[in-house]
A = this chain, B = another copy of it.
Amino acid sequence: MTDTSPPNTRQKTGRARTGDAGSVRTLERGLNVLTSLAELGQASLTQVAKAAGLSASTTYRLLETLRQGGFVEWEERSGLFSVGVRAYQVGAAFAGRNTLMNAAQSEMISLVGDLGETANLAVLRENEAVYIHQVEGSQLVRMFAQLGAGTLLNCSGVGKVLLAWQGEEDVAGRLGAQPYAAFTPNSITTLPAYLKELAKVRSQGYALDDEEREIGVRCMATPLRDHTRQVVASLSISAPTSRFSREQVPAFYERMDAASRVISARLGWTP
Contacts and interface: CB of A to CB of B under 8 A. Distances in A.
Interface string A20-53: 1011101111111011011101100000000000
Contacts of A20: 68
B125 A85 contact: yes
B91 A123 contact: no
B66 A27 contact: yes
A163 B37 CA distance: 30
A69 B28 contact: yes
Nearest to A128: B89
B90 A42 contact: no
A101 B92 CA distance: 15
A50 to B, nearest CB: 18
A76 B30 contact: no
Interface centre among A31, A88, A96 (most CB of B within 10 A): A88
Nearest to A123: B85
B23 A26 contact: no
Interface stretch (A110-118, A141-149, A238-246): A141-149
A86 to B, nearest CB: 7
Nearest to A28: B65
A27 to B, nearest CB: 4
A73 B123 CA distance: 13
Contacts of A34: 90
B83 A90 contact: yes
Nearest to A77: B2
B147 A95 contact: yes
Contacts of A69: 28, 31-32, 35
B91 A148 contact: yes
User: Which 7 residue pairs are nearest across A and B when measured between Cβ atoms?
Assistant: A91-B91, A92-B148, A38-B93, A27-B30, A26-B26, A83-B94, A88-B94
Given A83-B90, A89-B148, 19 more contacts: A2-B74, A2-B75, A3-B67, A6-B74, A23-B61, A27-B27, A27-B65, A31-B65, A31-B69, A35-B69, A82-B94, A87-B94, A88-B95, A88-B132, A89-B149, A90-B91, A91-B91, A96-B147, A96-B148
